[in-house]
Amino acid sequence: MVLLSLADKKTESVALISIKECNGAKENKKVPADEAIEPIDMYRGLLKAKRSAHHEAVKHIVGISKSEKQYEMIQIIFDKLFSVTKESQVQLMSSGFIPGDDIPQNFTVREFLSTVLENTAFLSEIVLRFPDICGRLLNQKNEWLVLTKWAVNFSNATGIYDKPELMLMDLVSQELRFVEPRENYINPFKEDTIKLKEMQKKMEKDKKKKAREEKKKKRGPRLSKVDL
């Protein structure tokens, strides 16, 4: 696990992205007997800690004022994220690991599994928070969209994700139309949703203003002391 610092020189904005480097995990190492498979609750605890770094990274992106700069930052993140996720996918498939199996004892396989779980949750959070930017990026590279669908389904099937991550997978599956969205599904961060909300707010404001004017007309003119 490393914290990759991605700095935009023009905006002086820095995003700390929690991405597991898999380049150093090539050796087929075994976990010592006294450090064998951790309980699943311990594994979830480690994932939860790493998710905190993801939240901070997203906050940094939100803090970038210009959407063009956000786009550039997310594109950089996606390039790295999908690269290591693809490598992990290949290695996990060649290892014979099937989602739903016990946490593997092989250290290298565990590293690749962790990479997929962490990156899938991180990716999903970015997609839901910046749906329009991510939608454009994923539509430009279909292989990214295909890999995202695999990662979401794979991570869901491992049984390792806890309730927050499972909810995240459910929402991103609807957002990217991997499943049919429920009738009440709305992403409040989509441009269309924001515009609709602003329009409804304006209509409500105009409606109240018109009601006040109508009420004033019905009351008619009043006599004042000067008139008397």
With respect to residue 208, please indicate whether it lies within any of the assigned structural domains: no
188 within some domain: no
| Predicted pLDDT at 46 | 85
Q: 67-95 and 142-158 helices cross at what angle (nearest 10)?
A: 60
Distance CA 82, CA 22 (A): 12
Is residue 125 domain-resident?
yes
- Lowest-confidence region among 39-53, 74-88, 101-115, 199-213: 199-213
Q: What percentage of the chain reaches a pLDDT higher than 70?
A: 69
Domain assignment present for residue 138? The answer is: yes
Domain count, the chain: 1
Query: Which helix or strand (DSSP H or E) is residue 32 part of?
Result: none
In this prediction, residue 27 carries a pLDDT of 43
Q: What is the mean pLDDT of residues 86-115?
A: 93
pLDDT by residue (tens digit) across 27-77?
Answer: 444 545 445 445 588 778 888 889 999 999 999 999 998 999 999 999 999
Angle (CA) 58 117 173, round 5°: 70
- Residue 217 falls within a domain, yes or no? no
Cβ atoms within 10 Å, residue 210: 10
In which domain, by residue range, is 42 found? 2-175
Tokens matching residue 219: 């009351």
Residue 16: its H or E element:
strand 13-19
Segment 76-98 shows an average pLDDT of 96
Taking only Cα atoms into account, the Rg of the chain, rounded to an integer number of angstroms, comes to: 25
Q: Residue 202 corresponds to which tokens in the numbers above?
A: 């304006």
User: Over the chain, what is the mean pLDDT?
Assistant: 80
